[in-house]
């Protein structure tokens, strides 16, 4: 079986793009939208006379957590520098409408070919 390298590259690019979008969607899920025709979920209301939830109070004599405050004139905390040859951290990018058009075009071309 002979595979055209351009077609293979296009297919690979389309699959990578799809995987990247899947990962980005998993990182920032949108809340599910209620379907039409279904009533909104009922939120339970606290009953009258029921006690408020109790928040634990720190015990007397227990130390409060200490937050270190930077002293005036002290240097900024040192950030570790990446080692040479290590990959840069990947920053998620917002999807652009033209990217979606390219992806759909790639898929349609691939469907025509295969």
Mean pLDDT per block of 10 residues along the chain (114 residues) reads 75 81 61 63 66 64 63 64 66 67 82 72
What pTM was computed for the model? 0.22
Q: Which two tokens stand for residue 63?
A: 């130390």
Residue 69 lies in a domain: no
Residue 81 lies in a domain: no
Residue 73 lies in a domain: no
**How many domains, in total, are found in the chain?**
1
User: What is the pLDDT, as a whole number, of residue 17?
Assistant: 79
Residue 7 lies in a domain: yes
Containing structural domain, residue 11: 1-21+98-114
User: What is the pLDDT, as a whole number, of residue 50?
Assistant: 63
Query: Nearest-5° angle of CA 42, CA 46, CA 49?
Result: 155
Q: Which residues make Cβ contacts (< 8 Å) with residue 7, sequence separation at least 6?
A: 110, 113
Q: Which two tokens stand for residue 107?
A: 């898929």
Q: Which two tokens stand for residue 9?
A: 């590259």
| Residue from 91, 103, 113, 101 nearest 17 by CA | 103
User: What is the pLDDT, as a whole number, of residue 61?
Assistant: 67
């Amino acid at each position: 079986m002979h595979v055209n390298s351009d077609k293979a590259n296009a297919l690979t690019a389309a699959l990578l793009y799809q995987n990247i979008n899947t990962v980005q969607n998993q990182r920032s899920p949108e809340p599910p939208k209620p379907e039409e025709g279904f009533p909104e979920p009922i939120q339970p209301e606290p009953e009258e006379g029921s006690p408020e939830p109790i928040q634990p109070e720190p015990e007397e004599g227990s130390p409060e957590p200490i937050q270190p405050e930077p002293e005036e004139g002290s240097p900024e905390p040192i950030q570790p520098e990446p080692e040479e040859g290590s990959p840069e951290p990947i920053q998620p990018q917002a999807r652009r409408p033209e990217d979606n058009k390219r992806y759909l075009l790639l898929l349609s071309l691939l469907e025509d070919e295969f």
